[in-house]
Amino acid sequence: MDTGHISSGTRFGRQTSDADDLDVLRLIRSRRVGPTTFHRLLAEHGNVRQALLALPDLAAAAGVKDYRPCPEGVAAAELAAGRKAGARLIRFDSPDYPQALREIDDAPPVLWLRGSPEWLSRKPVAVIGARNASSLGLRMTRAMASGLGEAGFTVVAGLARGVDTAAHNAALPTGTVAVMAGGVNVIYPPENAVLAAQIAEKGALISEQPPGTEPAARHFPTRNRIISGLSRAVVVIEAAHRSGSLITARNALDQGRDVMAVPGHPMDARAAGCNMLIRDGAVLVRNAGDVVEAMTVANDLTSSTASESRDNIANDPPAPTTSPGPRGPQPDTRIPAADRGGPVQLEARILSRLSPSPTDENDLIRDLGIPAASAAAAILSLELQGRLTRLAGGRLALS
C-alpha cells in the first residue's frame, strides 16, 4: 500500500543544484516545519526555494495568518555559529550524508558535524543503555564496544552517562559517533567535555539542532531516532521498563533495524527493559561475537529473500489482458463518499481519529481508506494550523 512516504530517490535526488545552505536552513527552521514536512514540501514543489515561496500561501490556506518563513538572517547566524564552533554542515543532498539515515521517514534535513563524516557510514552499530548502569553492566558495555570496534564496526551512542559513556570510551581507539540532543558544541552532561573532544578527534559528533542549542527534554526522543536510523543494529545493555533506550529500540524496529539485548537478572529493575525486548523477539546477545553473528545471519537472509523475489518476478507469467468495458460515466471510487465533501471534512475525520497519544501515520491513512496523497495534504494543513504534531517514528498526535 502506498503510505505517502517519499522514497530516498525522490526525496534526495532532485535537489543538489538548486538548494544552498541558507535556503535549506530557512525551510527546516521555519515555524511548524519538521523533517517529514520538509521532505513533503520538497517533493511537492521541486526544490527548497520554491517550497519557501509556497509556504506562506500554504499556511494561509490552512488558516494561519501572517505566516513568515525563517528569516535569512537567522539562518546566516546559524551558519556563523557553526563555523565558530568548528562544525561542518552536512545537508541531506550531500554525498557525506549517511545513506542509512536517508532511508528513514523523518530523516533530518541537516546535520552539524565535528569530526570526520566517514565514521557515519563505516558499519555503525548503536550500543545504548541505562544512565545508572551497574558495575557489571559497565563491564559488559566496555567489552561489547571494544569487541565491535575490533570487528570493524563503528559504535554509536548518545554521550549520556552510564552505558553510553562507557561505550564511547571503549570504542575511541577504533572510532565512535556521538549523537547529541543539543547543539554539537553544547556538551551534555558537562563531565563528558573531555570525552567529546576526543570523539571529535577520533570519530564524529553530530546533531540536527543549531549550534549553541541547550538540550531540552523534547530533543532526546528525536535524537534517539537518529541513533537508530544511523545504525545497522541497536544493542541494548541494561534498560529499565520505561526508558529512553526502549524508545530507541522502538524506533529501530520501525526503521527496520535489528534489535538485540543483553539479558539481566529478573529481580534487577535495570534489566527489565532488556528482558522485555528479548521476550518480545529481540535477539539475545552475550558479547560482540553474538552481535556480529546475528548481523551476518540477518544479512544472508535479506540477500536470499531479495534473490528469490527477483527470480519470482522473472518467472511470473504476464498478467491476462481484458477488454475495456463501456465508456459511460463512472463514479470516482478513489475517494470514499464520506470524503467528497472537501478538505474541511477530511481534516475533521483525521482529527476525530487522533488523540494526545501518538498514532502511526500509516495506520491512520489505512483507517481513513483514502489515497495517501489526499491524506498527506490534509495532515500538512493541520500541522501548519498547529492542530496536530508530528512525532518521531512517523507518528501523529493532537497538539
For the chain, which residues make up each domain, given as ranges?
Answer: 18-85, 113-298, 346-398
Q: Which helix (H) or strand (E) holds 357?
A: none
pTM of the entire predicted model: 0.77
- For every residue of 167-195, DSSP letters joined together read HHHHHTTT-EEEE-SS-TTS-SSGGGHHH
In the CATH hierarchy, which top-level class contains the domain 346-398?
A: mainly alpha
Alpha-carbon distances, residue 194 vs 58, 89, 165, 168, 318 (angstroms): 46, 23, 11, 12, 64
Can you give the pLDDT of all 399 residues of the chain as single tens digits? 333 333 333 344 444 433 489 999 999 999 999 999 999 999 999 999 999 999 999 999 988 888 999 999 999 999 999 999 999 999 999 999 999 999 998 999 999 999 999 999 999 999 999 999 999 999 999 999 999 999 999 999 999 999 999 999 999 999 999 999 999 999 999 999 999 999 999 999 999 999 999 999 999 999 999 999 999 999 999 998 888 899 999 999 999 999 999 999 898 899 999 999 999 999 999 999 999 999 988 776 655 544 554 555 455 544 444 333 333 434 443 344 444 445 668 888 898 888 887 888 888 888 888 888 788 888 888 887 888 888 877 888 888
In the CATH hierarchy, which top-level class contains the domain 113-298?
A: alpha beta
